């Protein structure tokens, strides 16, 4: 499933084609994805101006001039792509319709935004913009890791007394929003922390170090266009390439990249997910 960097990359790719633009027509080609679409979704989108496109955790929200927001979740295989030439820079011809093009937004600037999802694990909903944070998918989410509310004090407090493995705590969306398996593995490697370590047993100074490390890993991944492992594509259809920079994720049995380390990357299963780490560098 796309994590924060992939979703932010898609948001940035969509923004030039959608911000300030009117949805002249919305085609909704099926009644549902993971859940049913809201009633009259096509009618409620058609003619509305997109005031801004933003991200909350792993969700994209398009705030409309109707005081509603379109919530978008990519799921396991969902893609949002832009076609046309909205900025007058180069021509991206509109492709022929595909079998799994479930929602298509025709923008006033000539752009076409297509949501394609072969496995239909994605989701869309319309919600009141003023109370968006109370939506069932957004309520209870922790701070954004790239925002000011995510800081050393808050993370130290979240770790205090926790006997769960540090990796499990960082994956808790109530502790920090948007982090997923890939980037937690990478951050723990940079912090020299084993994913097995109990969160409450880690010294406060080492917990504090995680904050800038997490931000750095996420920022580098965003700059690289995210990580393309299976289905992820950027809004222009291109692949991300941060996967080429992985230190541990997906590298089971390969040599550790730390200079002077002779160990190989291990994989263990924690709560049904694979954790990759170097047992020599991460304690």
Active site residues: 2-3, 58, 273
Phi, psi (5° rounding) for residue 112?
-125, 125
Which residues, at least 6 apart from 162, have a Cβ–Cβ distance to it below 8 Å? 169, 198, 199, 200
Q: CB under 8 Å to 176, separation ≥6 — which residues?
A: 142, 143, 145, 150, 155, 158, 170, 214
Q: Please state, in angstroms and rounded to a whole number, the distance separating the CA atoms of residues 217 and 228.
A: 16
- The angle formed by the CA atoms of residues 270, 275 and 281, to the nearest 5 degrees, is 125
Where does 47-101 have alpha helices with state H?
none
Q: Give the burial string for 82-104 (b: 16+ CB within 10 Å, else e).
A: bbbbbeeeeebeeeeeeebbbbb
| The two structure tokens encoding residue 173 | 């969306």
Select from 81, 125, 75 the least CA-distant residue to 238. 81
Token pair for 210: 């995680």
Helix, strand and coil percent figures for the chain, each rounded to 5: 25, 25, 50
Beta pairing, strands 123-128 & 266-270? unpaired
């Amino acid at each position: 499933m796309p994590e924060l960097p992939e979703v932010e990359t898609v948001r940035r790719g969509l923004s030039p084609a959608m911000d300030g633009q009117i949805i002249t027509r919305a085609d909704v080609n099926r009644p549902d994805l993971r859940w049913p679409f809201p009633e009259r979704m096509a009618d409620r989108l058609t003619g509305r101006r997109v005031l801004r496109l933003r991200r909350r955790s792993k969700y994209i929200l398009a705030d409309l001039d109707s005081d509603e927001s379109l919530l978008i979740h990519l799921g396991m295989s969902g893609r949002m792509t832009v076609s046309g030439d909205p900025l007058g820079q180069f021509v991206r011809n509109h492709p022929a319709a595909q079998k799994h093009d479930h929602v298509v937004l025709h923008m006033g600037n000539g752009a076409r935004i297509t949501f394609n999802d072969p496995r239909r694990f994605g989701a869309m909903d319309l919600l009141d913009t003023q109370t968006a944070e109370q939506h069932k998918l957004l309520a209870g989410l922790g701070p954004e890791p790239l925002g000011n509310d995510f800081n050393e004090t808050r993370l130290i407090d979240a770790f205090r007394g926790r006997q769960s493995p540090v990796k499990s705590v960082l994956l808790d969306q109530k502790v920090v929003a948007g982090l997923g398996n890939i980037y937690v593995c990478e951050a723990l490697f940079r912090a020299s922390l084993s994913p097995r370590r109990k969160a409450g047993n880690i010294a406060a100074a080492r917990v504090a170090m995680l904050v800038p490390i997490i931000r750095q890993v996420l920022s580098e991944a965003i700059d690289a266009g995210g990580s393309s492992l299976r289905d992820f594509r950027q809004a222009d259809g291109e692949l991300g390439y941060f996967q080429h920079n992985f230190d541990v994720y997906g590298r089971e049995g390969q040599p550790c990249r730390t200079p002077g380390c002779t160990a190989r990357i291990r994989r263990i299963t924690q709560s049904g997910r694979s954790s990759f780490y170097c047992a020599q560098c991460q304690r």
